[in-house]
Structure 1
Amino acid sequence: MGCQFRLISAVAFGASYLVSSGKIVPSWWPIAGFVANFATLWTVQFVAWASWAVILWPKFLSPLRGLPEPTDNSLFHGQFHKIRKLPTGVPMREWINSIPNDGLIRYLGLFNQERLVVTSHKTLAEVLVTKNYDFEKPSTFQFFLGRILGYGILLVEGETHKMQRKNLLPAFAFRHVKDLYPVFWSKSQECVQAMTDHISQDETKSSEDKNTAVIEVGGWASRATLDIIGVAGLGHDFRTIENPNNKLNQTYQNMFSPSRSGKRNLEINEAARVIRATCADLIAEKKEKRARKEQSDVDILSVALESGGFSDENLVDQLMTFLAAGHETTASAMTWATYLLARHPDVQTRLRAEIRAHLPSPAGGDAAVVSSLDIDHMPYLNAVCNEVLRYFSPVPLTLRTTACDTSINGQFVPKGTSVVLAPWAVNKSESMWGPDALEFNPDRWMAKFAGDKDAASGGAKSNFAFLTFLHGPRSCIGQGFAKAEFACLLAAWAGRFEFELNDKEELDETKIKIEDGVTARPAKGLFVKTRVVEGW
């Protein structure tokens, strides 16, 4: 839409100059000054374009008009009223389970702008795999996220993306991630100990139960995951668990908190400056170590440096991506995991029993090392992790724009069409997951409960039913890292603590106000009664 306004303004400016200067004056055109001519020409063009874009194209001319869509559209704003009212991804979840479709659902947004929701195995495979470079992130999306995440692998397109992914893959290789489990566990231990100390020292708790206090879990999760990505990803301990007031943590807290738009731009610009400077310092430190021929570290930054495929500036962008996306997504997963365990005490009790039977206590000190084999041989822990990531995907929705005229499942899709990939919808699609798609059920990932279904896919009919990390060349490169980190952190928390919702109204999911943003979290935080369970 921005480019349309620029074009309209440019045409109005040029025509107004010619008319006002007397170089071109149609006999039927009233002679007026430049400003009046500009205003008149701009308005005429805008009305013509708006009539085309808002009424004629979406209502009468678009090749997408015959696709299934919601019926309760407003005249000029389609489904915008519902999208604005409900959390991101929730309207799509309703539509995917209520509107019969063959892989595509069309809906209209603000000013009747067309959107396509991709809903089936076949259409998802086309968008994410076979034709993935036909679909790019929208420019506005890139601009907004680029300031926060840097222009790293998450945002670049085409050949640049292929090159960056190739050079970064060794850092996320299967064996490399396996070697990082002791780091994940060590930081999980530190977090559990800090939370235990906080509970024992909390002056607001009841004197009757010295082992229980109400804590906001999202903040603790963010502190832990920022430290983990710091050590395992950058080879640097930010010590955020120890000191939540450090500059980097405060920068991210301010960046992801709501604020008025004018002030918001200044906050984001300053935050980006702080984060870029931090990343540049870490790169310089690593390069100095390499120059001294010190033993190479196993963190992601060290592997990326050894590839030789990145300039210092581009490495800064990659680190910004890993820092922000890497810790915020897992922190969101930990927040929702705690919520779901508090809602389902039977799952929590069963999970704690498995953890305590197979893992050393986080209070065991430095000698208590956990390896990938320890975590991988805990089926219920992995089932709970998978089900949390299915049920509450940290990123509820992502957008693509067609970079050229293309087709999806034989349907012609014009260049510039917005395409919606909605994990919060696909992950709960009844056509893919069955009639219990809307239920939290870790057993769907357990072989003995899956029956003749494939437990590795949660019993779903297709791998594309699990959209949390996307698929294909644009899938999350850090998927293995994130799942391993999540499993270690959840094992430490669930083994040590018992969680109970502080606000009983939140037992009803619809009562939780979810903050709109890149990741989904409770808007006012998640406060839970947390009790230290002795004996481990």
Structure 2
Amino acid sequence: MSLLAVLGLTAVESYALQRTVLQDSELTLSGIALRLLAVNLFLKLFYHAVIWPRLLSPLRHLPQVKGSFMSAQIMFDQPRGKSPLKWMKTIPNDGLLHWRDTVGNDCLLATNHAALLDIMSTNTYDFQKPGRVAEFLARVIGYGLILSEGATHKKHRKALNPAFNIKNIRALYGLMWEKTGLFLEGLEGDMKKNPWAEAGTSAEKGVGKVEMSEWASRLTLDIIGPAAMGRDFRSMQSSEHAVADAFMSILEPTKEKIAFLGINFIFPQWFTRALPWKLNKVITNTTGVLRSLCLDIVREKRATLISTKATAKELETDILGTMMVGGDFTDDELVDQMLTFLAAGHETTASALTWACYLLTKYPEVQTRLREEIRARIPTGDSPITYADLESLPLLNGVCQEVLRLYPTVPMTVREAVRDTSICGKFVPKGTRIFICPYAINRSPTFWGDNGDQFLPERWIDIKADADGVDREVVNHNGGASTNFAQITFLHGQRSCIGKDFARAELRCAVAGVVGRFRFEMQDPKQEIHIAGAVTTKPVEGMHLKMERVEGW
């Protein structure tokens, strides 16, 4: 007789009892599994939050940046780089500051010559742009020189270097000056359309209103087009500005775009592209237009090469032709490079010109002295110039250098250690994020003393006696700093901006033209200008100037 029968249970009751016992057993096993999972998660979090950073991390002894959400704070700084500059000034360190971001990544901020040297030169290829940062930027500028890494970067850099040597850049001064002339005509036309009139008064003759940042973007676009790809966009003469507007739709300095950038840097592209965010559509449509334009230009140039059998010398009149002659790039790679040059080659200098105008409204005495220097060397705005005319002007050089120092177009960049390496003799494990902050380095008291925040073009001017013993002002190229790593607007080393000499030449021409012909000030002298931008720095409010033509040039 069975035990169940002895207990007097029926078959149905017996089945129900067995099922209950089995369910209780399953619940117990499930509960155990859930508890084990919870314990494992807790231990993992405890390890990453407490044991690793406090007891094991090789970075734990470095000076710490205190606070929460430090990486997010950097992203939303206005201006970006303000917080790192404060940390450099207030936290004693030997080249590195350390914090951990909200997801547990170790982060370092480079603060001195030795650290910057290791990151940019000694161990350059140990550090790459983080994958999600690169993936997002590639949506806009393709995998050109800025985003290529390792052996690919070395190959492409070597192939492009000839196009950017100083001899070729100096040969472009004529083009840059010609476009600057058209730029000045465009500004005058805009002034006539928008004459200046104070409340209750008649318009002043020859005085008008101009929004400089938009005009600066058109000028630099019309220079990079012919120089990079043999295509004149004529955006200064046209009422339609498709390419300039395309970049503006992406780079306009709004909080929404900064937030969008942050989301793309945190989450993978498959996730962020799926978000019902209007900016996703804007970027997709805009980059599609730009990529199609660049592909058309590449195909046209390729067809011309085949049909006309143009010589290498004829093709090398622009950067695209130089790349085609070398044969190192496929058509898709050429498109990526063109996107990179279009974005980096016009937006950066446009930003610098805008900030130059801003600083010269704040320092009208410098503006006046600069106008006198320019006019003494260049008889009229229509006079032809050579590179020597502009590169030898001490105050022009000093103004341009201070603009680039105080307002670096890209104020912050980030790298990630792709292997175990070292910085300043300190072991840096794979996966560590490295922040390089041109805005902070370029103003740091370590390099520039207590007046690093001040606009002082005289830093870049030396006094030397000539053959007759007369003291004269001459250009210097270090600003009085003891190392070239004191200014990292264009970075340094193998990954420095390949177009830095192009950008400087372009800025010299534009500033000389504007200051030589116009006197200008802010439309509203009391207006507070805010520095922002998703990638590059721009004035949030635009740069609204009151401009007056100064006769005689």
TM-score (norm 2): 0.84
- Whether 1:210 aligns to 2:205 is yes
Specify the alignment match of 1:101 in structure 2: 93
Deviation at 1:512, TM superposition (A): 2.8
1:288 positional shift: 2.4
Which residue matches 2:378? 359
Match of 1:140 among 113, 129, 132: 132
User: In structure 2, the residue corresponding to 1:448 is in which secondary structure?
Assistant: strand
Task: Give the structure 1 partner of residue 12 of structure 2.
Answer: none
1:29 maps to what in 2?
29
User: d(CA) in 2 for partners of 1:435 and 1:401?
Assistant: 32
> Are 1:57 and 2:26 matched, yes or no?
no
2:444, 2:452 within 8 Å by CA — same for their partners in 1? yes
What is the Cα deviation at residue 290 of structure 1?
A: 1.9
Per the alignment, residue 143 of structure 2 pairs with 151
Q: Which residue of 1 aligns with 2:458?
A: 443
Alpha-carbon separation, structure 1, partners of 2:475 and 2:48: 46
State the match for 1:19 in structure 2: none
Determine helix, strand or coil for the equivalent of 1:314: helix
Asked which structure has the greater CA Rg, the reply is: 2
2:531 matched to which residue of 1? 514
Amino acid at match of 1:157: E
Q: Which residue of 1 aligns with 2:409?
A: 394
Contact 2:531–2:539 (CA under 8 A) maintained in structure 1: yes
**Residue in 1 that maps onto 2:489:** 468
1:249 to 229, 244, 248: 244
Q: Which string of whole-angstrom CA distances, capped at 9 and with x for unpartnered residues, describes residues 439-482 of structure 1?
A: 1100000012999x993211001011110111110000111111
1:302 matched to which residue of 2? 321
Determine helix, strand or coil for the equivalent of 1:29.
helix
Tell me which of 524, 533, 536 is aligned to 1:503. Answer: 524
Residue 165 (structure 2) pairs with residue 173 (structure 1): yes
Structure 2 residue aligned with 1:16: none
Q: State the alpha-carbon separation in 1 of the partners of residues 524 and 403 from structure 2.
A: 21
Distance 1:454 1:181, change over 3 A: closer
SS of 1:483's partner is: helix
Tell me which residue corresponds to 1:15: none
Contact 2:105 2:431 in 1 (8 A): no
CA distance in 1, matches of 2:116, 2:483: 11
In structure 1, what is the equivalent of residue 504 of structure 2? 483
Identity %: 40
Q: Mark the runs of 5 or more structure 1 residues left unpaired by the alignment.
A: 1-21
Q: Which moved more, 1:167-176 or 1:58-67?
A: 58-67
Q: State the match for 2:389 in structure 1.
A: 374
Q: Distance in 2 between matches of 1:324 and 1:164?
A: 18
Q: Give the 3-state SS of the residue equivalent to 1:407 in structure 2.
A: strand
Distance of 1:265 and 1:47 partners within structure 2: 37
| Aligned pairs (5 A) from 1:84-95 | 84-95=76-87
Counterpart selection for 1:338 from 339, 342, 357: 357
Is the Cα–Cα contact under 8 Å of residues 54 and 113 in structure 1 kept in the other structure? no
Contact persistence 1:58–1:112 (CA under 8 A): no
Decide whether the 8 Å contact of 1:390 with 1:466 is kept in 2.
yes
Structure 1 residues 78, 519: closer, same or farther in 2, change over 3 A? closer
* 1:432 aligned residue (443, 447, 460): 447
Tell me how far 1:213 sits from its aligned partner: 2.2
Distance, in Å, in 1 between the alignment partners of 2:368 and 2:427 is 51
Q: Does structure 1 retain, via aligned residues, the 8 Å contact 2:216–2:350?
A: yes
Report if aligned partners of 2:190, 2:209 keep a CA contact under 8 Å in 1. no
Mapping 1:156-305, distance limit 5 Å: 156-202=148-194, 205-206=197-198, 207-243=202-238, 245-257=240-252, 258=254, 259=256, 262-291=277-306, 292-294=308-310, 295-305=314-324
Would the aligned equivalents of 2:195 and 2:203 in 1 still touch at CA under 8 Å? no
Task: Indicate the larger mover: 157-166 or 247-256.
Answer: 247-256
Q: Which runs of 5+ in 2 are unaligned?
A: 1-21, 261-276, 465-470
Amino acid in structure 1 at the alignment position of 2:531 = I
Structure 1 position 124, deviation (Å): 0.8
More displaced stretch, 520-529 vs 121-130: 520-529
Q: What CA distance in whole angstroms lies between the structure 2 residues aligned with 1:388 and 1:204?
A: 27
Distance 1:373 1:416, change over 3 A: same
Q: How many Å apart are 1:322 and its aligned residue?
A: 0.1
8 Å Cα contact 1:80-1:108 kept in structure 2: no
**Does 1:405 find its partner at 2:420?**
yes
Cα distance in 1, alignment partners of residues 158 and 147 from structure 2 = 15
| More displaced stretch, 174-183 vs 257-266 | 257-266
The answer as to whether partners of 1:454 and 1:460 remain within 8 angstroms in 2 is: no
Greater displacement, 160-169 / 349-358: 349-358
Q: Look up the equivalent residue of 2:362 and give its one-letter code.
A: R
Count matched residues. 496
What amino acid sits opposite 2:179 in the alignment?
Answer: K
CA RMSD of aligned residues (A): 2.7
Q: Distance in 1 between matches of 2:204 and 2:46?
A: 66
Give 1:327's aligned residue. 346
Please give the secondary structure, in 2, of the residue aligned with 1:456: coil
Deviates more, 1:264-273 or 1:81-90: 81-90
Q: Secondary structure at the match of 1:243?
A: coil
CA distance in structure 1 between the partners assigned to 2:210 and 2:247 by the alignment: 20
* Mean Cα deviation higher: 106-115 or 519-528: 106-115
From 349, 359, 367, the counterpart of 1:348: 367
Distance 1:60 1:300, change over 3 A: same
Q: CA deviation at 1:66?
A: 1.4
- Superposed displacement of residue 61, structure 1: 3.7
What's the TM-score once normalised by structure 1's chain length? 0.87
Q: Supply the AA of the counterpart residue of 2:514.
A: W
- 1: CA distance between counterparts of 2:197 and 2:40? 65
User: Quick check: 1:78–1:112 contact (8 Å CA) kept in 2?
Assistant: no
> For residues 296-330 of structure 1, what are the alpha-carbon distances to aligned partners after superposition, in whole Å with 9 as ceiling and x for unaligned?
35111111111111111000000000000111110
Report the Cα distance in structure 2 between the residues aligned to 1:515 and 1:345, rounded to whole angstroms. 25
* Distance in 2, Cα, partners of 1:361 & 1:49: 71
Do the aligned partners of 1:89 and 1:396 also contact (CA within 8 Å) in 2? Answer: yes
Q: SS of the residue aligned with 2:370?
A: helix
Q: Determine helix, strand or coil for the equivalent of 1:512.
A: coil
Tell me the equivalent position of 2:514. Answer: 493
Separation in structure 2 between the aligned mates of residue 470 and residue 91 of structure 1, nearest angstrom:
20
Tell which deviates more after alignment, 54-63 or 429-438: 54-63
With 107-116 and 322-331 compared, the bigger mean Cα shift is at 107-116
> Which amino acid in structure 1 is aligned with residue 535 of structure 2?
V
Structure 1 pair 375–118 and aligned structure 2 pair: CA distance change class (3 A): same
- Is the contact made by 1:192 and 1:492 (CA closer than 8 Å) also made in structure 2? yes
Residue by residue over 1:389-430, the C-alpha shift from the partner in whole angstroms, topping out at 9 and shown as x without a partner, is: 111111101110001111111111110101011111111111
Contact 1:54 1:111 in 2 (8 A): no
The 1:455–1:180 alpha-carbon spacing in structure 2 relative to 1, beyond 3 Å, is: closer
Q: Tell me which residue corresponds to 1:8.
A: none
Contact 2:196 2:204 in 1 (8 A): no
Q: Is the 8 A contact 1:235 1:297 kept in 2?
A: no
Change (3 A) 1:41 1:162: farther
Residues 414 and 26 of structure 1: is their aligned pair in 2 closer, same or farther, counting only changes over 3 Å? farther
Query: Helix, strand or coil for the counterpart of 2:315?
Result: coil
The one of 128, 153, 160 equivalent to 2:120 is 128
Deviations 1:252-290 (A, max 9, x none): 121223457511111111111111111111111212222
Alignment partners' CA distance in 1, 2:37 and 2:548: 65
Once the 2 structures are TM-superposed, how far is the Cα of residue 44 of structure 1 from its aligned partner? Answer: 6.9
